[in-house]
Amino acid sequence: MDKHNFFHGIAEELSMGALTAPAERVTGGYLHEMYKLETASGKYAVKLLNPVIMKRPDVFENYRRAELLEKELCENKIPVIPAMEINGCKMQCKDGQYFYVFHWIEGKALAWDEIKAEHCREAGALLARIHKIRQVKEPSDIKEICADWDFYVTAADTECREIAGELEKNRDLLYYCQEQYNSALRLLPPVSCICDGDMDCKNVLWTDGKPVIIDLECLDYGNPLSEMFQLGLSWSGGTVCSMNYESLNAFISAYKKEYGDLNPNWNAIYGIGFSWLDWLEYNVKRALRIECGSEEERKLGIGQVHETLRRIIYYHTIKDELLKQLSN
């Protein structure tokens, strides 16, 4: 696709005004492509949705549900940047490429080493506000992870030597962690609520010291305890394999203050932290060209396989210390 002509075309067709500068790629995403557009009418962010993802059978229903939940967050005054509605639709399409358009916001996404306890407090309280909007006393429809790691180990041996050794070395651990995750999933309290699905630090911009959530296409219904635990681990350093327990405590305490005490059995739900397995499997598929649209995406998948394996191994090693800190 000729990106230059594509962006000129959508600016004209969507009455955004003529481009005043070349479209600028915005870094940070691992799934879709984001660009900054400057036009005669203002600045915009345009998210090009991954064409491979758009071939999934349930993708349009998932995005439609996320769009409705996005409106609900806006109605409840949650600080978010919603997709623009143009000609009655949020999702747009040109030349077979699906995309969303957003008003550009001048904010900063924090790097992992910039996150402090005060940021974790803000993020934890904000997540609790989302979870409180509407709840149902029934189990969440969260799928168990049932990856065939033996298949991927064998396939990588011939199709992607860059990941073969690491997958084979950690084969037993992956099956163990998968069982730990699925067991914890069955022990979650039967509560369902609106969940962001991807509220890590790259999807929260800070303006004047306050958080604003972006990239809301993962909005769905889920379990509040599961998402709180996963995001608490992420914001406090689990993603970069360097846990800061002061930050974890700040996140969880702020969440409880806003939401109410969930009184979790931390030992029972410890396995939820292995939710990274889902992202690992997706990137193994990209590396093996099973679900991949380009060589650039394949290389990204290879890099994410190594990073995600490192996170899973790290989380496995900190179990005793983590549970000790959580019990206090």
CATH of the domain spanning 3-73+81-104: 3.30.200.70
The tokens 């699906």 sit on which residue?
Answer: 98
Specify the amino acid at residue 254. Answer: A
- CA nearest to 84, candidates 27, 119, 33, 43: 43
- What topology does CATH give the domain 112-327? Aminoglycoside 3'-phosphotransferase; Chain: A, domain 2 (3.90.1200)
**Would you state the structure tokens that stand for residue 12, as one six-digit string?**
């004209």
Instruction: Look up residue 284 and give its amino acid.
Output: V
Q: How many residues does the chain have?
A: 328
SS (H, E, C) the chain: CCHHHHHHHHHHHCCCCCECCCCEEECCCCCCEEEEEEECCEEEEEEECCCCHHHCCCHHHHHHHHHHHHHHHHHCCCCECCCCCECCECCEEECCEEEEEEECCCCEECCHHHCCHHHHHHHHHHHHHHHHCCEECCCCCCCCCCCCHHHHHHHHHHHCHHHHHHHHHCHHHHHHHHHHHHHHHHCCCCCEEEECCCCCHHHEEEECCEEEECCCCCCEEECHHHHHHHHHHHHCCHHHCCCCHHHHHHHHHHHHHHHCCCCCCHHHHHHHHHHHHHHHHHHHHHHCCCCCCCHHHHHHHHHHHHHHHHHHHHHHHCHHHHHHHHHC
Per-residue pLDDT of the chain (328 residues; tens, 9 = 90+): 778 789 999 999 998 989 999 999 998 778 899 999 999 999 999 999 999 999 999 999 999 999 999 999 999 999 999 999 999 999 999 999 999 999 999 999 999 999 999 999 999 999 999 999 999 998 888 999 999 999 999 999 999 999 999 999 999 999 999 999 999 999 999 999 999 999 999 999 999 999 999 999 999 999 999 999 999 999 999 999 999 999 999 999 999 999 997 889 999 999 999 999 999 999 999 999 999 989 999 999 999 999 999 999 999 999 999 999 999 8
Residue ranges, CATH 3.30.200.70, the chain: 3-73+81-104
Q: Distance between CA atoms of 221 and 106, rounded to whole angstroms?
A: 30
Q: Where in the chain is the domain with CATH 3.90.1200.10?
A: 112-327
213 CB-side CA count, 13 A:
26
Note the pTM of the prediction, 2 decimals.
0.94
